[in-house]
Amino acid sequence: MQKALLIKAAVTTGLIAVLAVPLGMVDQLVGERAARQRAVVNEIASSSAGDQQIVGPILVLPYVEEYRERYWVDESTESGVKRVSRTRLVKHEARTLFMPRSAELRFQGGTSVKRRGLFKALVYDLDGAIEGRFLVPVAPRVGRHQEGSRIVWGRPYLSLGLSDTRGILRAPLLEWDGSRHGFEQGTGLGKGLPNGIHAMLPPWIAEQEQTAPNAETRVIPFKLKLGFRGTESVSFVPIAESTRISLASSWPHPSFQGRFLPDADSQRIDATGFSALWEVSGLATTAPASIRADVASAKACASGCAEWLGVRFIEPVNVYSMADRAIKYGILFIALTFAAFVLFELLESLRIHPAQYLLVGMALAIFFLLLLSLSEHIPFATAYLVATAACVGLLGFYVSHVLGGVRRGIGFAALVAALFAVLYALLVSEDVALLMGSIMLFALLALTMTLTRNLDWYGLETRRG
């Protein structure tokens, strides 16, 4: 192979390496803009309400265990120190938690966009109710520190965990066994589930001197009306023996997440919004036991609250992730364009200066900067079309002079336009991106081999001379 061809290949490879620098700078800029977008979402959430997670409702029965405890003390007497027996009243405060026998959560609402300059966050409003019933023993069993101790029951309350109570839109209302009750701040469950609200309930359990058998139970129906606001996502922790959750919104781009997915037959997603239904059995989750353990040990809800289901309200096109994915193909596009230049030199016996290679490569690098800046103001598809038209038009004009003919310039511009069309298809078809990329590279290799099948590589130097 001729020395001139080797030098051309080395220079072209060096130019591709040089052009990786501006591509890297654009990629860094995409990362900075994406980080600013995330910061704006956090700012809006901190001034309004963040991601919301609902846990409950949980029936809390506080009690005090009282018993007499004997202890010994040393007392000074005239004859010396004497060990004396004393008794004292010991009180242990505790609480027992009851999860609903059945619970149905129904919420629906819409979304809105809050902006900070060019950046935005998606905020949702949901309104609905939680309805179900508790099955509570008339004389609940509790763990005792001493046999025969006296149990003094406190006033029961109903707790509902809510991640950010600033998002509550109006005063929640509880209908409990035919009576109505308002809510107060806090769950009353300490560090185990600190964020939320609770409603005080009328007492119905008398004092117990002995542990009474759980022979009798009481069915208590309830209905909790609740409206709340949040940012970007909402989730629920199913804790009832039978949980049914229905959620509907006008947002047409949901992303269902968590440990449980909605029933496929009930799921609907179209241009007017979405609706989904979850049905979870208590046998499918360890959340109730984990929450009881976390509350008892005063630990933050961890494993129990991790068994959630929910929806993330996502943007259909994230301009920063799309721009980042496009830049990943930047070096490949520059290499393919330079390869086309080399083919023109070989097939048409032209000489193209390295400076002209560099200018064409810079035009391709600036395409990605144009794409990023335009997509922050207009839809991504439109921004891609405008940036492509500008880049292809510029390259067609320039290359028609470099290659010495308008026809050649138009042909080269058409080739670049086809590459940009393939890139867009790769961006919007993430699931088959590898397949499409493999087919494109194979097709380009086949085209190159076809065009150069009759080329006399050893005669290139003679032709140039």
pLDDT at 100 over 80: yes
User: What percent of the chain lies above the pLDDT cut of 90?
Assistant: 6
pLDDT of residue 409: 76
User: What percent of the chain lies above the pLDDT cut of 70?
Assistant: 84
Model confidence at 210, pLDDT cuts 50, 70, 90, reads very low
Mean pLDDT value of segment 367-391 = 85
Mean pLDDT value of segment 286-312 = 78
Rounded Cα distance, 56 and 368, in Å: 48
Residue with tokens 């405060």: 93
Among the residue ranges 53-67, 133-147, 198-212, the one predicted with the least confidence is 198-212
Quick: pLDDT tens for 116-141: 766 777 788 899 999 999 888 777 77
Model confidence at 350, pLDDT cuts 50, 70, 90, reads low
Residue with tokens 């397949």: 435
Model confidence at 106, pLDDT cuts 50, 70, 90, reads very high
Q: pLDDT averaged over the chain?
A: 79
pLDDT of residue 317: 64
Mean pLDDT value of segment 279-302 = 80
pLDDT of residue 425: 78
Which of 131-140, 174-183, 209-218, 358-367 has the highest average model confidence (pLDDT)? Answer: 174-183
- pTM for the full predicted model: 0.69
Domains contained in the chain, CATH given: 3-39+319-464 (no CATH), 49-68+87-313 (2.60.40)
Q: Which residues in 274-292 are b (16+ Cβ under 10 Å) and which e? A: bbbbbbbebeebebbebbb
pLDDT at 76 over 60: yes
pLDDT of residue 245: 92
pLDDT at 463 over 60: no
pLDDT of residue 246: 92
**Maximum Cα–Cα distance across the chain:** 129
Mean pLDDT value of segment 304-315 = 80
Model confidence at 332, pLDDT cuts 50, 70, 90, reads confident
pLDDT at 429 over 90: no
pLDDT of residue 104: 92
Backbone φ and ψ of 364, nearest 5°: -70, -40
pLDDT at 3 over 70: no
Quick: pLDDT tens for 265-287: 888 888 888 888 999 888 888 88
Mean pLDDT value of segment 163-182 = 87
Contacts of residues 182-187 at CB distance under 8 Å and 24 or more positions apart, as own/partner, are 187/56, 187/58, 187/159, 187/160, 187/161
Rounded Cα distance, 100 and 239, in Å: 7
pLDDT of residue 208: 44
Supply the DSSP string of 255-313, one letter for each residue: EEEES-PPPTTT-EEETTEEEEEEEEEGGG--HHHHHHHHHHTT----TTTTS-EEEEE
pLDDT of residue 1: 46
Among the residue ranges 8-12, 273-277, 304-308, 326-330, the one predicted with the least confidence is 8-12
pLDDT of residue 218: 80
pLDDT at 98 over 80: yes
Residue with tokens 């839809």: 379
pLDDT at 461 over 60: no
pLDDT at 211 over 50: no
Among the residue ranges 31-40, 104-113, 366-375, 424-433, the one predicted with the least confidence is 424-433
pLDDT of residue 118: 66
pLDDT of residue 212: 46
DSSP state of 193: S
